[in-house]
Amino acid sequence: MLETGGQLWSIGELAALCGVTVRTLHHYDRIGLFRATGRTGSGHRRYSEDDVRHLYRIRALRALGLSLEQVREVLASSPDDAGAVRQLLSAQLSALRNQAEQARRLQHQIQALLDNTGSTMPGVDHFISILEGMTMYEKYFTEEQRTELAQRRAELGPAAVDDAKATFARLVEEGLGYVSANTPVDDPAVLDFARRWDGLGSRFHSNDATKSAARSMWQDNSPELSARLPWPPDRLQELVTYLQRVRDAG
Amino acid sequence: MLETGGQLWSIGELAALCGVTVRTLHHYDRIGLFRATGRTGSGHRRYSEDDVRHLYRIRALRALGLSLEQVREVLASSPDDAGAVRQLLSAQLSALRNQAEQARRLQHQIQALLDNTGSTMPGVDHFISILEGMTMYEKYFTEEQRTELAQRRAELGPAAVDDAKATFARLVEEGLGYVSANTPVDDPAVLDFARRWDGLGSRFHSNDATKSAARSMWQDNSPELSARLPWPPDRLQELVTYLQRVRDAG
DNA sequence: GTAGGACCTGACGTGGCGTCAGGATCAAGC
DNA sequence: GCTTGATCCTGACGCCACGTCAGGTCCTAC
């Protein structure tokens, strides 16, 4: 049985030919992405030359970074609907751009971390301390890159973002002063400070202003690191804790 | 019970504070990466200020792209063993370099694909046909980048690789001639051709020469695309199929 | 006839969580 | 003191693209 004429390959041969594993072909079979045109009487898969070409297309599309579902879409799309395919590839292109940029950012960050700690041969704690600072610093200053905030940014304009950065710097200096002086949490100046701090956060967040400031320093991913941290991270940590106490007192 | 003094956070508060989800904290708890210092009588987790700092360290390390296991390693390493941490970060750095380069390559490839098919508004088939060619072309010509072959490359030297590329180009031309002319698979010239083809592959592969040539055109990942495909992919496919028949006949 | 490879299906594992499900607990208002 | 809605708990399954056994069947060459 099964005499279609022409070359037929077993699953192992096809796998070797196309540089995939047998398990991969089993997987594609199971999810219905790619099945052998035939089976022997005992159930062994037999692949035709068309199958080889089909698998090769799948691997080519996978090599572009598409998911198996996307591959299925492309191959299932009608032959003259190149528009949808172009759109999918464009989306993939921008996803790759983001990936590359993210990778570059992390490279710079790690490189800076290694450079920063290079000569002093510090302990792991110092390492992480620097890292914390870098991360915290970035997290705030690249706030404007978060997609969630895209709309509010548009409303405020880039000038407002720059202004917020400067304001944040001044606020941190002010807050560190209160922490250093161990100012009581019910001091009017501190309460006013906390209000302004939260206010800065709430200009960029739509959620609860009480938590936004602290939250803004940690959330999500982080972009390019071009500057160094002007404040020691431990102090920033203290400041955040201090602010938390102020809020609890208020 | 549980009166450690000082600020305590619930899991939801900590999650909001650090920009993670509650589920993430549950996960860290389950795998033993990060647990609350305390629990209330009814089992609710209570996090201390130290916990906040600990979690922040974890998130900072995660933000560098480290896995949870690597984070665990770093945090468990003895405080003055900065060497291990530096090594891990260096490894991460090179991994990121590879990632970025891979992303860039795919960007170029997709961009070239979109450019190539931009004006003609072709069908999906044409699209994939171009892609197949690009992929196949790359797969062979970047053979030398495969880690498996690193040693043999070192033995042969870069000149041999360049030579192999030229040889491959000539071989493809020759083979396409046989296919076009529909030369019988037992023709002495074809047999000699197949022998040379396999020989080229076996210079770079350590495994079975019979399959190496075809395999070399598909396996693994692919690097930069700087040139365009000089042969139509369908023809290359035919050539590979033809070679398979030659081998089966021989 | 038999040995050892290649093949089959089914099931579980990977990482880093997301997403219910079903129930217990907490905080605030009445 | 009671209700109500938010928050908390544990357990379990889902995701993606397969890897890795396990236990059994089949094919091929000697």
C-alpha A241/C-alpha A201 separation (Å) is 16
Is residue B152 a part of any domain in this protein? yes
List B72's β-bridge partners, or say none.
none
**Chain A, chain B: beta-carbon pairs less than 8 Å apart:** 182
Is residue B138 a part of any domain in this protein? yes
Is residue B3 a part of any domain in this protein? no
Kindly determine whether the C-beta of residue A13 is less than 7 Å away from any atom of nucleic acid strand C: yes
Contacts of B82 in chain A (CB under 8 A): 117, 121-124, 126-127
User: A134 and A53: one domain?
Assistant: no
Is residue A98 a part of any domain in this protein? no
Domain that holds residue B45: 11-76
Supply the pLDDT for residue B67.
95
What letter represents residue B149's amino acid? Answer: L
Kindly determine whether the C-beta of residue A67 is less than 7 Å away from any atom of nucleic acid strand D: yes
User: A64 and A148: one domain?
Assistant: no
C-alpha A73/C-alpha A83 separation (Å) is 13
Contacts of B78 in chain A (CB under 8 A): 124
Asked whether the beta carbons of residue A107 and residue B100 sit closer than 8 angstroms, the reply is yes
User: B89 and B175: one domain?
Assistant: no
Instruction: Give me chain A's average pLDDT, please.
Output: 68
Minimal CA separation from A135 to chain B, in Å:
6
A233 touches A130 (CB < 8 A): yes
Number of Cβ atoms within 10 Å of the Cβ of B85: 23
Supply the pLDDT for residue A93.
93
Minimal CA separation from B35 to chain A, in Å:
19
Nearest chain B residue to A12, by CA: B211
Contacts of A81 in chain B (CB under 8 A): 124
Residue A121 sits at φ, ψ, to 5 deg, of 45, 65
Q: Mind giving me the DSSP string for chain B?
A: -----S--B-HHHHHHHHT--HHHHHHHHHTTS---SEE-TTS-EEB-HHHHHHHHHHHHHHHTT--HHHHHHHHHS-TT-HHHHHHHHHHHHHHHHHHHHHHHHHHHHHHHHHHHTTTT---HHHHHHHHHHHHHHHHHHTGGG-GGGHHHHHHH-HHHHHHHHHHHHHHHHHHHHHHHTT--TT-HHHHHHHHHHHHHHHTT-SS-HHHHHHHHTT-S------S--SS-HHHHHHHHHHHHHHHHH-
Is residue A1 a part of any domain in this protein? no
Q: Of A21, A47, A76, which one is at a domain's C-terminal end? A: A76
Asked whether the beta carbons of residue B241 and residue A113 sit closer than 8 angstroms, the reply is no
User: B226 and B195: one domain?
Assistant: yes
Report helix angle B233-249 to B209-216, nearest 10: 170
Asked whether the beta carbons of residue A218 and residue B17 sit closer than 8 angstroms, the reply is yes
User: B65 and B153: one domain?
Assistant: no
What's the total number of domains in chain A?
2
Is residue A54 a part of any domain in this protein? yes
| CATH code of the domain in which A60 resides | 1.10.1660.10
Contacts of B17 in chain A (CB under 8 A): 211, 214-215, 218, 244
Residue B70 sits at φ, ψ, to 5 deg, of -65, -40
Q: Hey, of B49, B107, B229, which one would you mutate to test binding to chain A, going by the most A CBs within 10 A of its CB?
A: B107
User: B58 and B156: one domain?
Assistant: no
User: B72 and B101: one domain?
Assistant: no
Kindly determine whether the C-beta of residue A69 is less than 7 Å away from any atom of nucleic acid strand D: yes
Contacts of A220 in chain B (CB under 8 A): 19
Bases of chain C with protein Cβ within 7 A: 6-9, 15-20, 24-26
User: A61 and A146: one domain?
Assistant: no
User: B107 and B138: one domain?
Assistant: no
What pairing do the DSSP bridges indicate for beta strands B38-39 and A38-39? unpaired
Kindly determine whether the C-beta of residue A63 is less than 7 Å away from any atom of nucleic acid strand D: no
Tokens of B191: 């047999």
User: A161 and A228: one domain?
Assistant: yes
Tokens of B147: 């880690």
List A47's β-bridge partners, or say none.
A9
Using one digit for the tens of pLDDT, what is the confidence trace for B100-137? 988 988 888 888 778 766 655 555 666 666 665 555 55
Q: What is the DSSP letter of A31?
A: T
User: B109 and B25: one domain?
Assistant: no
Nearest chain A residue to B132, by CA: A60
Residue A45 sits at φ, ψ, to 5 deg, of -70, 140
Kindly determine whether the C-beta of residue B13 is less than 7 Å away from any atom of nucleic acid strand D: yes
Measure CA A73 to chain center. 25
User: A28 and A127: one domain?
Assistant: no
Beta-carbon-side half-sphere exposure of residue B8 (alpha carbons within 13 Å) = 14
Q: Which pLDDT tens digits describe chain B residue by residue (250 residues)? A: 444 556 788 999 888 777 789 999 999 999 999 999 999 999 999 998 889 888 988 988 898 889 999 999 999 887 667 788 888 989 999 999 988 988 988 888 888 778 766 655 555 666 666 665 555 555 544 443 343 334 444 444 445 444 545 555 566 667 777 877 778 877 888 887 777 665 554 333 323 333 333 333 333 222 221 122 334 444 555 666 566 566 556 5
Residue B159 sits at φ, ψ, to 5 deg, of -60, -40
Tokens of A201: 């956060």
When CB atoms are compared, the residue of B111, B214, B222 closest to A93 is: B111
Kindly determine whether the C-beta of residue B68 is less than 7 Å away from any atom of nucleic acid strand C: yes
- Of A129, A135, A138, nearest to B59 by C-alpha is A135
Using one digit for the tens of pLDDT, what is the confidence trace for A205-235? 323 333 333 333 333 222 221 122 234 444 5
Q: Of B65, B92, B116, which one is at a domain's C-terminal end? A: B116
C-alpha A88/C-alpha A74 separation (Å) is 8
